[in-house]
Structure 1
Amino acid sequence: MAQTHNEATNRQGDAGCGCDPANLVPDLTGTRSVPPFVATGVRMLSFPVAASLFKLTALCDRYLNAPDPASPDWRPLTSMVYVQVLQYDRLVSEPYAQFGFIRQNELLFQIPIISPFKATEPKVGFFSPYLVVDNPVSLTVGREVFGFAKTFGGFQITDSDISVTNWLTPTQDANAQLAEHPLLGQPAYARSTAFLTLDEKPDVTWPYGPIRRLFRKEDGRGTDVGDEEPPFELDEVAWRHLFDSSDMPIVFSEMATETLKQIDSTTVLAPAPEQAAYQARISATSRTTAIAGTGHVVSGPLTVHRYDPLDLVDSFGMQTFLGKVPVWHPYWIDLDFRIDDTTLLTCHC
């Protein structure tokens, strides 16, 4: 059994079984939805919250490192989780853009990750272990193409109020019924006036680069976006401090994503029920192509509802105060982006 697992892990998609990411995409009403995907008119609200570095590391091990021994050794870059609410005005599969587009709302919980940290050119990306969308096409394609753990929910978003619901069973009781339940609330936020507006591709030459400056709070030094290379000489503590304490909106020109596509946990690839099973490891790149504006958000704490099978507060180790989740330096960005360079790294089929 272990030998079968290792052989499958070491098999490359293009050289082994001949799989291609496009072959993992379902037909939707006769039209295929394949990358690259192009999103325009996106309004993003980002609410960074403090979490447990220990629990974030455990999530990376459980869902990224342990299931696939051939994967990089991913670790959280910071002790923050970025709770983000996005409104998409237009989202298309570029090869089939003539067939139309979709609109959607999305809630995601993002963990900045890095591997290996001490390398000359470490790989950095974001791991999103939990996402909610309100468009069934996006839900299906997101799960089938990239393995994103998307679920279906409802959104009520105004200029000052956010409410997100999710379909789940509220308890572990065998008689619990699947129904729509409150998941997240932000009842008092306001977007500031944009302090930066761009009408072209952001002039950021490395993926850590925020627009303007990120300051190292401990010594007052900063890093200009014009730098050709990121300051890899910064140690791990400095990087985490930089992310955790920054009050400037963080805008990435490029962002790596790496996910595991899930399959039936009873297969030979996951003999133990507690282990995450997967079909393939997929990588892609999200590229910011335009920024309409960015600024700060004035907000109160988040309400994150807790259920027996879905306790996000406990899973991430979010810090709470009087039952609420405090927010650190929230910000907004209006942008366009595309997801391309989709690569099948390993497969198990």
Structure 2
Amino acid sequence: MKKRLSFLLFVCAMFILASCSDTEYQYFSIATASTGGTYYPIGVGMGNLWTEQLIDQGIRATGQSSAGSVENIDLLLKGEAQLAILQGLIGDQAFNGTGIYEGRSYEGLRSITFLWPNVEHFVLQNNQIETGTIADIEGKSFSVGPQASGTEQSTLAIMRGMGLTTADISPEYLGYDDTISAMRDGRLNGGSLPAGVPVTAITDMYASGVRADVLDVTDEQLESINELSNVFFRYEIPAGTYPRKEEDIYTIAQSNFLATDKGLDEDIIYLLTKTLYENLEFMYEVHSSAREMSLETALDGVSVPLHPGAYRYYEEQGVDIPDELLPPELQE
């Protein structure tokens, strides 16, 4: 009898343990970019935050590396990522069916929040610098970013505004770390590394003694660039941001934002948005660029309509929401 009772207790215990391990989780993949920039650590940080805070509600999230914004759009469309960090330029083009998305707009694309300014860093070896501005990349071997990345598209947009194409440079298609490594080895003159300040790969460039510098963008160049792609604004990187860089850098930036598909559940996106904003101190420790985030800046530079879940949260918080960001679903 005792043996039978012990066996029954053992079976019950195993059943309970099995039940506990059968928790059904919802997994959220956050598409970012290459590991040397800012997208990746911030995406990983958001994933860690949501998993830590919401695992008891069955939510697990993780950041995944990618080629950047262009691939991230594809990942959203295919359902291979549920969330993605996008450049303002790429998100705007995708939603409106312009630029590289001419005739194939992603009408289901929705925004969640502004994240931080995507600051342009055009770097060039010192012995190749003439004017000290981005015009100096002409005739040089220059990485425009990985193929199908937001870096590539924003770099090409800036070049077009300067009257340049890839025919005017010797183009390479490298990630951030590989760009700096190739410059260190003397195999590459320079490259484009847009990201939040400070960019890890550029900190490494200065700290490790690579003889190179970040190029300035003049007001005239900014005006010319915005004649074709009106999403850029002036941005100054203070002296001392990077090792051994004792002068301000006068460059330009665009907004980065968190995006999703309109098909994701409204309550889930509301919960993710709410959790993010109630734990900003966590994000501030992930990367200094995240310090740009606040309810006051939540919609800065965002041109893609909000997801209904994010809209609901901002409405509750009294955020002033422009008409163009109202979810189309709520207007039908």
- Short-chain TM bin: under 0.3
Question: Larger radius of gyration, structure 1 or 2?
Answer: 2
Determine which structure has the larger strand proportion and give its number: 1
Determine which structure has the larger helix proportion and give its number: 2
